[in-house]
Structure 1
Amino acid sequence: MSIRDDLRNIAIIAHVDHGKTTLVDEMLKQSGTFGAHEHVAERAMDTNDLEKERGITILAKNTALRYQDKQINILDTPGHADFGGEVERILQMVDGVLLVVDAYEGCMPQTRFVLKKALEQNLTPVVVINKIDRESARPEEVVDEVLDLFIELGASEDQLDFPVLHTSAVQGMAKHPEANDNQGMDILFDMIIANVPAPKDNRDEPLQFQITMLEYNDFLGRIGVGRVFRGKVSHGDRAVLVTRDGQERSFRISKMFGFHGLEKREINEAGAGDIIAIAGVDDINVGETICLENHVEALPALRIDEPTLQMTFLANNSPFSGLEGDYVTSRKIEERLLRQLETDVSLKVEETDSPDAWTVSGRGELHLSILIENMRREGYELQVSKPEVIIKDVEGVKSEPYEHVQIDIPEEYTGAVMESLGERKGEMKNMEQQGEGQTRLEFLIPARGLVGYTTEFMSQTKGYGIINHSFDSYQPSIAGQIAGRREGVLVSNEKGKATTYSMNYLEDRGKMFVEPGTAVYEGMIVGEHNRENDLGVNITKEKAANNFRSAFKEQTTTLKEPHILTLEEALQYLNDDEYCELTPMAIRLRKKTLDTTAREREQKRKKQQIN
């Protein structure tokens, strides 16, 4: 069978923050894809504000560049475990992968995950050791680590014979390991063309096009992005969409787009190997196949990762409801959640007994927190509950998701981290020294043991620890509770504004979450108690005004810096009886029952039931 030598399809895979997106930027710039008059922003592939701020890829994206007489389609994949399912689907569209590995950090958990998927699909790898400009870079050792990982994952002999290139994406430089001179991206393009197989040219056979990613446009509706695996498709063709459940729907191809740089361009025809977008099909979904009417033959359905974590999303009913957001009603929140389902196939939204609450299930804390943060920025007000792991039935056995955890910490913190993970039902799989004074720990742990752990971990390691985790498997559920937050909280029992005077007296009771002048309400959590019980406090009390001067010299009050929780910290901090209130202006923790007297009665009832 002939091949399309004018085309190459590759995916860039890596652990989070190893430089994939920056490398793609340089490939686009140096290929001449952009005109001389075009300004290209840094991290051009990251179109979402959160991606730019956090320096991570959240949504998979594809682009295409021209090099000499060839087109190279590039798919930039997420590097975080929460989006592993998207990585897996994207690998179905390509014939090879660029495995990007940090020249200092080496192989990390997500490196293992994405490489395992690539090898299972028999894709041809090209290894790029990036960030060789770092002072602590150790490219030769990292190549050995990569080889060991290939062997451990059962790579074939052909896959083990992978080519290696050293790069500094930030500097726009690439070179062969043995070369002394730093060159541009041309040698990377040459390596891709020489090593990644060209697609089969079977344009004469019946059409098979499979949707792998979804986009949404207000004018065109859902847009299905995927690869033409067989045959060709033209504007105006009569086609059939074969859904995931086997149903067939006829339609006419009205809009098709190809990719060039960061743009979509309308096209009239595409053939085997091309990666394109098709619009104008109602309710198109990931994994579905488009065929021509006279030859309907569906491709095997793509696997979509099941959610492992769920939260309750609620309309905001705090005393501050409606003061800071544009969209407050349950109808608006439901519309927004349903709109998210148009493009996010790993998300599930289910109604509850209450018209103001929904169960939202996702792949992990990052997956859900990104949705929440986007909603906040769009002007929504809402409340969310503590994240809970989804338990499911596997062959009649109650099972829960387990995570593979890799931790790099200074040696002095090893004991504390091992003890805390043991309390969370973690099982240590490996422990080794990583350079002077550094230890690497590997654990297998129930996913619920990691809920809320990051904040504790960073506190234990004074911010010097690095923790990474990826989904491992579903295993029989462990009986018993997993250690959670030990400390109680300081709860405001008045409405008003926090005062310096009150906070000065409360500092000995714990750590503050608010600054002087912050508006608070009864039932709002204003700090962490340094004991295990919750404590009601009056943080709004003003200094008594009188005509008598203190016998002691008055001094300016200096408060400790409060700990203002980020969204992720707030979600991890929650207990079962608490909500996180989210508005465009604020992130607040609160008790589900705001009334102090009613809450105290509930606590007494619980104690009586336990005793």
Structure 2
Amino acid sequence: MQKIRNIAIIAHVDHGKTTLVDKILHSCSIFRDNESTGELILDNNDLERERGITIVSKNVSVQYKDVKINIIDTPGHADFGGEVERVLKMADGVLILCDAFEGAMPQTRFVTQKALALGLKPIVVVNKVDKENCRPEEVYEQIFELFFNLEATEEQLDFQVIYGSSKQGWMSTDWKTPTENIFPLMDAILENIPPAPIQEGTLQMQITSLDYSSFVGRIAIGRVARGTIKENMPVSLVKRDGKIVKSRIKELYTFEGLGKVKVASVSSGDICAVVGIDGFDIGDTIADFENPEQLEVISIDEPTMNMLFTINNSPFFGKEGKFVTSQRLRERLHKELEKNLALRLVETDSPDSYLVYGRGILHLSVLIETMRREGYEMQVGQPQVIVKIIDGVKCEPIETLIVDVPGEVSGKVIELVTQRKGELLIMEPKGDLQHLEFDIPARGIIGLRNNVLTATAGEAIMAHRFKAYEPWKGPIPGRSNGVLVSMDKGMTTAYAIDKLQDRGRFFIDPGVDIYEGQILGEHIRDNDLVINITKGKQLTNMRASGTDDNTRIAPAIKFSLEECMEYIQADEYIEVTPLSIRLRKIYLTEQERKVKGKSLVNQ
């Protein structure tokens, strides 16, 4: 039997998780000496590289001292908690990575809680000890306290701690004495993480992830919990609801380095990819053909937010996208449900619209961004939090919000958060920053990031995680300003924008095609204003000094997709196409808005 260790890496966004995996891959000589690999090898889709975050968990394996170590890179953001909860089922231990200055952040806490509850053995890595103002000892104490608060067992509290710098490529048991390599960490994994258990008996394997190949279709990935799985073996697929489907395994692969290797059989404890099973979902069990036994179904936290997805019906419909029909939109959302466990889809009264439930703004925006890059056109409505009635009381999701901010602007942040029904729990110094912790309704966080970054000149570091459902906190003020709405279709002119600059800030530049009902900017007052910025200058042959002023236009404000989602109100849509993101009113003409708009706002 090959010796195997299965380990998941947990960390908050930007604490150096994917960089550490790079160093492990290099130090275990997976690549040829002349092979060019680049950085962040595992963040292999464009969105992950652009945002610098891990969105989809991935498996790699390395050989170290004739032991096979399967490494599972997990997302660090709580919005992708659905990814984390299922892949932890494949691990026997976890590597908890913390920044030597920031310490255990909210998302680290979220995933650590799941890992400790599953009884996984932890190793703590305090990373970035080469940074200025780092505080490794304090961070170690903080993590011990975190484990204690999360009700870790005595065995879990007796964890090994390793200090080092992933970027510099060294790890050590003492942060003051750097080493030449990361082998102290690899040795700690072999010593502290229990070997993958070998269980004899009939086959049991839970599908915890999936892959897709254009040649063989969907590929099931999971860890063999009991028995041995073999090529060409007849099996039973036990669905989440207990229904049993007979099937046969065509091909088997195990993970080696960054790729997969075809094998004849896989024994319990190892992670493998299975080809040939149809109609499976994540959480299903591949079991013995004669006597199938189901493994415990993966439980996923409920979504906290929903958004309306609908087809694009603007005047610019179909100009930029390949997939524009409601059938295409429906097929794509159903396909996403297969692998995105934390997502839910609900049909609406309209055949063109669907309510998509997710874990937060980032979770939903990554789905929208992925779809627009694939060539889809659609419109999305304002994100709404999910309200529940618990014991006859109206309840809403409450989040724990953590803000690290320079002391001189902490007052502004507290004011902004308390306006949105936030409650200050902790205020303490952390290095040269002020550390603030709040409980705040999830709907209060929508649109808050922009305001906080503006008030603190971009110096605030914000993070939040779902806490619990609590009684409704009352009304929260929305956007304070109205918008500038186009009254005409055509091309914008610098002349018209210049003349209307005193009415507000514009989101678009001169020379852009617009349509009636499109949102062009933010009004300086709290009401909406209908304007015409397609008007050109009257050309005459009369010229006089002083009348031909040069136009001086302030730069247009450009919103990212998430900022748009946080900005819009109930009577507005975001039009998303492969090339453009536009804001618009649901009802395009002013007359329609007067008649129907009031009912939308009152809802």
Q: Would you say same fold, with TM above 0.5? A: yes
Distance (whole Å) between structure 2 residues aligned to residue 604 and residue 287 of structure 1: 45
**TM-score of the superposition, structure 2-length normalised?**
0.96
* Residue 34 (str. 1) matches residue 35 (str. 2): no
Give the conservation status (yes or no) of the 8 Å contact 1:200–1:272: yes
Residue 305 of structure 2 contacts residue 358 of structure 2 at CA under 8 Å; is this kept in 1? yes
Deviation of the 1:472 alpha carbon: 1.1
Q: 1:185 aligns with which of 182, 194, 213?
A: 182
Residue 479 (structure 2) pairs with residue 482 (structure 1): no
Distance across 2 between alignment mates of 1:284 and 1:358: 24
Distance across 1 between alignment mates of 2:278 and 2:54: 28
Q: Which residue of 2 aligns with 1:472?
A: 467
TM-score (norm 1): 0.95
What pairs up with 1:163-562 in 2 under 5 angstroms?
163-178=160-175, 180-202=177-199, 204-436=200-432, 438-478=433-473, 480-552=474-546, 554-562=548-556
| Structure 1 residues 606 and 296: CA distance shift in structure 2, 3 A | closer
- Quick one: distance in 2 between partners of 1:181 and 1:428? 40
Q: 1:43 and 1:236 mapped to 2: Cα distance?
A: 37
C-alpha deviation, 1:567, in angstroms: 0.6
**Unaligned residue ranges in structure 2 (runs of 5+):** none
CA distance in 1, matches of 2:4, 2:393: 48
Deviations 1:234-267 (A, max 9, x none): 1122211111111111111112211012112222
Matches within 5 A, 1:53-202: 53-178=50-175, 180-202=177-199
Task: Map Cα deviations across residues 213-244 of structure 1 (whole Å, 9 max, x no partner).
Answer: 22233333332211111111111222111111
For 1:367 and 1:345, locate their aligned partners in 2 and report how far apart those are by CA, in whole Å: 11
Conserved in 1, the CA contact under 8 Å of 2:82 and 2:340?
no
Greater alpha carbon shift after TM alignment, 318-327 vs 419-428: 419-428
What is the distance in 2 between the residues matched to 1:599 and 1:553? 38
Q: Say whether the 8 Å CA contact 1:258–1:265 is kept in structure 2.
A: yes
Q: Distance in 2 between matches of 1:388 and 1:602?
A: 20
- Residue 452 of structure 1 aligns with an amino acid whose one-letter code is G
Question: Where does the alignment leave 5 or more consecutive residues of structure 1 unmatched?
Answer: none
1 CA distance for matches of 2:594 and 2:116? Answer: 57
Between the aligned partners of 1:530 and 1:502, the Cα distance in structure 2 is 17
Q: Distance in 2 between matches of 1:606 and 1:41?
A: 50
**1:265-293 CA-partner distances (Å, limit 9, x unpaired):** 22211111101122222221122211112
TM superposition outliers: structure 1 runs of 4+ over 6 Å: 604-607
Offset of 1:605 from its aligned partner?
7.7
Give the length in aligned residue pairs: 603
Secondary structure (helix, strand or coil) at the match of 1:112 reads helix
2:47 is the counterpart of 1:50: yes
Alpha-carbon distance, 1:171 to partner: 2.3
- Rate the CA distance shift 1:401–1:222 in 2: closer, same or farther, 3 A: farther
Q: By how many angstroms is 1:396 displaced?
A: 5.0
**Deviation of the 1:355 alpha carbon:** 1.9
Checking the alignment, whether the CA contact within 8 Å between 2:493 and 2:511 is kept in structure 1 is yes
Separation (CA, whole Å) in 2 of partners of 1:578 and 1:550: 44
Deviation at 1:178, TM superposition (A): 5.0
Check 1:213–1:456 CA distance in 2 against 1; reply closer, same or farther (3 A cut): same
Q: CA deviation at 1:606?
A: 8.3
Partner of 2:575: 581
Equivalent position amino acid for 1:279 in 2: V
SS of aligned partner of 1:425: coil
Q: Compared with structure 1, are the counterparts of its residues 388 and 606 closer, same or farther at alpha carbon in structure 2 (3 Å cutoff)?
A: closer
Change (3 A) 1:605 1:128: closer
* Percent identity of equivalent pairs: 48
Of the structure 1 ranges 212-221 and 60-69, higher mean CA displacement relative to structure 2 is found in: 212-221
C-alpha change, 1:603 and 1:213, in structure 2 (3 Å) is closer
Contact 1:408 1:441 in 2 (8 A): yes
RMSD: 2.0
Q: Deviations over 1:433-484 (max 9, x none)?
A: 2233x22111112212212222222222221111101111222334x32221
- 3-state SS of 1:264 partner: strand
The one-letter amino acid of 1:138's match is R
- Which sits farther off after the overlay, 272-281 or 519-528? 272-281
Residues 454 and 157 (structure 1), Cα distance of their counterparts in 2 relative to 1, 3 Å cut:
same
**Structure 1 residues 304 and 555, CA, compared in 2 at 3 Å: closer, same or farther?**
same
